Chains A and B, each alone.
Chain A
Amino acid sequence: MHDFVMPVGPQSPALKEPMLLKLKLEGEEVRSVDMRLGYTHKGVEGLLEGKNVDQAMYVASRICGICSISHERAFIRTVEDMMKKEVNERVKLIRTILFELERISSHLLWAGFMMHEIGFDTLFQYLWREREGVLDLFESICGNRVHKNICKIGSLRYDIAPVQEREVLDCLDSMQEKLKDYEDEIKKNKVIKERLKGVGKISKKTAIEYGLIGPNARASGIDNDVRRIDPYDSYADINFKTIVIKKGDAMERTLLRMREVHESMGIIRQCVEMLPSEKIPKFSLTNIKEGEAIGRVEAPRGELFYFLKVEDGLIRRAKVRTPTFAFIKILEKILKGVKIGDVPVIVASLDPCFSCMERVLVAKEDREEWMTEAEFRRKYSC
């Protein structure tokens, strides 16, 4: 039988963001995979350079629309580390609340897409209806629904009013029962089981080899959670479980995220209870002359890493490693030998976010190319 190369993407109804998968087929089976990325490269690291930290934070938060607070939070953690600045308890707790609300919103968005991918549009609509409540909360607390921009270095833009505390708890209460129903539906429904069980299996060994992080790694039995191994905000004082499942197929990845939503709800409830009555500090411009630091947070998709170097009050070099960048390579491994119909489901089940992972990659087909920063700038004139 002849080998047949089928391109999936960059514009394809099966993928929500542009990416090209060249699948070598034999019959219906995938023999090998070639990936091509770079369709949504925005040059954000270049944009960050030459700005002061107050400005750059808002540009950084626009790397991703879904995890906007995570980027802001990682940026602030880096800068606060550089300045050795401590923030008060209330600020920490409010940041934790917003961070976990974002996790809920992201996981529900993803679960909706996953259901849409396997053709279960009813559940997709239900899940997104619940997410709408979280977005309304963001509008009420932060001002905007998508790019929230509430964090400031050392402080917050707005405090949470007692009315809004009530709103948050009400939203969680109304959501909890319904989400349990949806989770049961995912567990019991025959169509979902057929499409997801045993599909895209990742063993613990493969997961370690390919550097899987976040919920995908936790679904393969790796206990990896930045909130626990390197606590920030008030995660050190809060009781929460890191959910780890061993099987590592698409079904387990779906259920793990649904369970994480419940865990996040628990964290938010604890934080609201613990909120002290002190005031948040007033916003002041950051005065930072020189420094170099790294920072990381657990974004909804996994570990988000920032490196910043500041010279003369301006950012000289910024490096962002988004979670998708760390695990996208595994597609080459797990797509081998699967049926063509399972490809969209497996890609979606990893929860990739291409537009935030686009970084400059210089790769030649037969050899790697290494160059210094100066050489690179000269060659690509940036």
Chain B
Amino acid sequence: MYEFFDLTLSVFASTIRLAIPLILAAMAGMMSERSGIVNVGLEGKMLMAAFAAAATAAVTNDAWVGLAAGIMVSVLLSLLHGVACITYNGNQVVSGMAINILAAGLAPTLANAWFNRGGQTPMLSADGRHTAIHLPGIETVGDIPVIGDVYRLLISGHNMLVYIAILTPFIVAWILYATRFGLRLRAAGENPHALDTAGVSVSSIRYRAQIGCGILCGIAGAYLATAQSAAFSQNMTAGRGYLALAALIFGRWRPKPTLLACFLFAFTDAVQIRLQGTVIPGIGIIPVQMIQALPYLLTILLLAGFIGKSEAPKAIGLPFVKDR
């Protein structure tokens, strides 16, 4: 019984760790898509931010400077997406894919040229990483059975970015539903002509949404390279940007269901890592590739099963052209 509790707790703990980049990226996607700009480029922005954060942290030996660099690069890519989609009325999906391909080439090229380690950045020291924080009272509470374990493994012992990421959905929900900017952002995604008639610049709102999206993707990338691991490696995002996008669609572009979808994907991922190499009674060892495919398979099943009547922002993907 206690063994099962331990197992569950460790799966939940790794669920939280794996959910962080998904939550940040999905919320980034929400900022962009609720303003009417499709964002397939989350993957590339995260990857580039991961590289920038790891490279900067390796040189400066400061995790926070790394985070700032990650955010800056990701915001720049977001603005590039903005220029293509908002200023030049370009195809938004194509622009997003362009950013993904660009990042997949640029990050390893620069990593090779600057660090000469086969497309990786140097391993970060403790100062260059976001390390675990122990919340107060861990010594006294930590020894209590059950509650102590939960406090020690699930609530305490994460790095700062984890706590920031957990707060993000609430901040994004507050921005979207409780501020004037959020109202305008949603209007830009639902009915940009109404917004325009009200005398608000649709472009300016959408650009600001892109910047918000860039900031969150930047944190997500920095988390991958300087908190979860201690260096940048090629393709380290491994499709998380696309999974986040799927979570956003599955969550019907709303913060709470999207957050739950992120946890669902992360849980599947945590289970698949736990399943690798274990013998399942009656079946034996499931091939590792089949288990690794679980999150992707789940994505397809979820999108196929529940998205029949999804309510995407009405003006999503459409360039805004003023009526004359």
- A and B interact physically: no
Which residues of B line the A interface, CB within 8 A? none
> B-contacting residues of A (Cβ < 8 Å)?
none
